[in-house]
Amino acid sequence: MNLLTELVAFVVAIGVLVVVHEYGHYSVARLCGVKVLRFSIGFGRPLLQWVSKKSGTEWTIAALPLGGYVKMLDERESPDQIPASDLPHAFNRQSVGKRIAIVAAGPIANFVLAIVLFAVVYASGVTEQKAIVAAPPAQSAAARAGFQGGETILSVSDANGSRTEPVRSWSDLRWKLLATAFDQGHVVLAARDGEGTYDFPLDLSQLTGKDLDDDFMAKLGLEAGGNTLKVAAVEAGSAAQHAGLQAGDQLRAVDGRTVDSASTFIAYVKAHAGKPVRLTVARGDAGQNTQQTLTLTVTPTLQRDAQSGEEVGRIGAALAAQAPSVDVRYGPIESVRLGAYRTWDIAVYSLRMFGRMITGEASLKNLSGPVTIADYAGKSARLGPSAFLSFLALVSISLGVLNLLPIPVLDGGHLLYYAVEAVTGKAVSDRWQLVLQRAGLACIVALSAIALFNDLARLIHF
């Protein structure tokens, strides 16, 4: 069933993105007076075809749904077969400005789609985790900034305070810090605790390109807090059972320190193998006034971690975390504005990440292919409409950015030709275009091969 969901979600996602991208080319071409011969969704053998009586365009749905194209009248392809009356409507006869507009319309359509999708998500409302900070590790950037745990972050400002953006959820905070981390500067986080609102200067300069590939929030010492941790199960004969820990117990503190993060608690236990640890737990039903607070002493046993191979402490208990959430909803105008900002930020981040991959500052493992896209399409579809629309917006932005890269065979390569023509007054020669097309095709094949390898590596975990 999951495989079917992934396939359906993948086909829907790719179909929508391709139709929007190609319709951008098609609509601007028609607006510029260019005759469109074929509008194809997919490649290969046609499954469905019809011809528009009004425009004469042949509309096609083909067997291989991984892309599409718009074929325009161009006398360079068949100069002897074009009637003289149609020559003014040939793509190559248009001014360089019109050709730039037609080629750029596809990626622009993808960006517009992303703005609309994000706006729909923001306007309909989403439930996200609150931006509450867990107690940070000692000597981390968050600890040096003054965070102790339990603070709710309200806004992010640059170092000089010239730009302040509100923080509405944990994912919102993560994205704002990610966008800032590329500059490797400082930010000021305004946060509220039980006593008031304070500023916390956070140093991002320690982050490297590899950190941005991984969990950079953990590197900073920032982890979502405010969670309610309950014991989901206790292994028979484990240290947790010997200490008297029971399923349903709510963890309040460890060695006197408040605990509201599962990963922080697990890391603490791992680091205290063979050492007694005091757990403060709440047992019973608070609603029925039967809840009592207990202090249990458990000694983690030394075991080998299956992933890292290191000797760590374990108590033999499974945890369930209930995160505090917030409903984020915006008005129509604000939703469009935020959708535009989010689209811009993601597009800029994608370009920066691609640049880092070229220079070797970021791993090529960040490239993903159709298998990963299908996987995330299925997962987001199962999470609900908002998650799927957000995923669709992200992929639409990626498609737009990819097509604007100055690689021949992509829209960006053609735009580069036309930019040269606009500056020099001369079109790039057919010979040079052929050479560059081959080089561009080689680049695309190489990128596709790397993306497919990454897909397979994630799939079979090698």
pLDDT digits (tens, 9 = 90+) for 173-214: 887 887 777 665 788 899 998 788 888 998 888 777 666 656
Rounded CA gap, 190 and 120, in Å? Answer: 29
Does domain 228-322 sit in CATH 2.30.42.10? Answer: yes
pLDDT category at 80 given cuts 50, 70, 90 is low
Residues in the chain, total: 462
Task: Report CA-CA distances (Å) from 67 to 17, 27, 129.
Answer: 9, 18, 36
Higher-scoring residue by pLDDT: 326, 133? 133
pLDDT value at residue 210: 64
Mean pLDDT of the chain: 83
Of these residues, 22, 75, 77, 235, which one is catalytic? 22
Residue 358 three-state SS: helix
Neighbours of 454 (CB within 10 A): 19
228-322: same fold as 141-220?
yes
For residue 22, indicate whether it is catalytic: yes
pLDDT value at residue 113: 95
State mean pLDDT over 380-405.
86
- List pLDDT tens digits, range 98-127: 999 999 999 999 999 999 999 999 898 877
**Could you tell me the two tokens for 410?**
């992509």
pLDDT value at residue 212: 62
- List pLDDT tens digits, range 409-460: 888 888 988 888 888 888 888 788 788 788 878 887 777 777 777 666 666 6
9: DSSP letter? H
pLDDT value at residue 116: 95
Higher-scoring residue by pLDDT: 354, 302? 302
Does domain 141-220 sit in CATH 1.10.3210.10? Answer: no
**Could you tell me the two tokens for 359?**
């220079």
Rounded CA gap, 75 and 432, in Å? Answer: 19
CB 87 within 8 A of CB 75: yes
* pLDDT value at 340 more than 70: yes
Q: Select from 104, 129, 69, 86 the least CA-distant residue to 326.
A: 129
Q: Which of 82-86, 147-151, 332-336, 363-367 has the lowest mean pLDDT?
A: 363-367
Higher-scoring residue by pLDDT: 48, 440? 48
Q: Select from 394, 390, 386, 391 the least CA-distant residue to 124.
A: 386
* pLDDT value at 23 more than 90: yes
pLDDT category at 390 given cuts 50, 70, 90 is confident
Q: Is 56 left (phi over 0), alpha (psi -120 to 50) or beta?
A: left
State mean pLDDT over 84-92.
83
Rounded CA gap, 37 and 82, in Å? Answer: 12
pLDDT category at 278 given cuts 50, 70, 90 is very high
pLDDT value at residue 363: 67
Q: What are phi and psi of 54, to 5 degrees?
A: -75, -45
Enumerate the domain spans of the chain.
1-6+96-125+332-462, 141-220, 228-322
* Residue for token pair 């095709």: 441
pLDDT category at 362 given cuts 50, 70, 90 is low
